[in-house]
């Protein structure tokens, strides 16, 4: 493996970011859930107090094509994980005072497959909010990821990461996972 995380700017346009936000709003936001092998789908606002809206790929075929091509190339060039497909997507909405403390994304695949790659699209213009930074912990200090609207961030699902408290404005991002059989 060459890199722990990857960033790509201008993967989608501002208009496409707006479309994803509007689709999330249309589908409806709910309190974000957590889950692990002992307790799937529970709410713990001390860890995660943002909101999410599901985005089934069938609503966004253009995005499925774009992500399939980009993530296949990223995986081939950097990770070489055994991958089989995507989970559905979520738009995440952060309002002032919301966050998602340090965590891993390794749970919540399917019975046959687990999350292998996490990918995040930044949907909001960074001038519209303060705080709400995505930090990927590749070493003790962590690294702040790009805030550029339309950028794509990719890292292995077993990488510790967090979103710091949003201080003002509203931040939207889209998250998804590429699934595969258990790591060997």
Residue 65 lies in a domain: yes
For range 131-135, the mean pLDDT? 97
Q: Which one is predicted more confidently, 1 or 50?
A: 50
Query: 72 vs 78, 83, 123, CA distance in Å?
Result: 10, 9, 22
Determine the structural domain holding residue 15 and report its residue range.
1-35+44-86+94-131
Decide: helix, strand or coil at residue 104: coil
Domain assignment present for 51: yes
Distance CA 140, CA 47 (A): 20
The predicted model gives 131-137 an average pLDDT of 96
pTM comes to: 0.92
Residue 15 lies in a domain: yes
pLDDT tens-digit map of 69-114: 999 999 999 999 999 998 879 999 999 999 999 888 886 555 678 8
DSSP letters of 153-175? EEEETTS-EEEPPEEEE-EEEEE
Q: Whole-number mean pLDDT of the chain?
A: 90
Query: Is position 148 within any domain?
Result: no
Q: How many domains does the chain have?
A: 1
Range of lowest pLDDT (57-66, 105-114, 134-143, 157-166):
105-114
Residue 56 covered by a domain: yes
């Amino acid at each position: 493996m060459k890199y722990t995380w990857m960033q790509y700017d201008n993967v989608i346009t501002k208009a496409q970011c707006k479309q994803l936000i509007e689709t999330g709003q249309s589908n409806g936001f709910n309190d974000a859930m957590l889950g692990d092998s002992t307790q799937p789908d529970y709410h713990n606002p001390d860890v995660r107090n943002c909101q999410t809206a599901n985005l089934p790929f069938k609503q966004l075929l253009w995005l499925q094509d774009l992500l399939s091509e980009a993530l296949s190339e990223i995986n081939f060039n950097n990770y070489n994980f055994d991958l089989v497909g995507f989970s559905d997507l979520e738009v995440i909405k952060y309002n002032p005072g919301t966050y998602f403390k340090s965590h891993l994304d390794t749970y919540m695949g399917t019975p046959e497959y687990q999350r292998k790659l996490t990918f995040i699209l930044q949907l909001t213009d960074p001038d519209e909010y303060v705080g709400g930074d995505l930090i990927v912990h590749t070493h003790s200090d962590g690294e702040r990821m790009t805030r550029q609207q339309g950028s794509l961030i990719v890292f292995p699902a077993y990488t510790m990461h967090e979103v710091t408290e949003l201080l003002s404005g509203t931040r939207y991002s889209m998250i998804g996972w590429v699934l595969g059989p258990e790591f060997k």
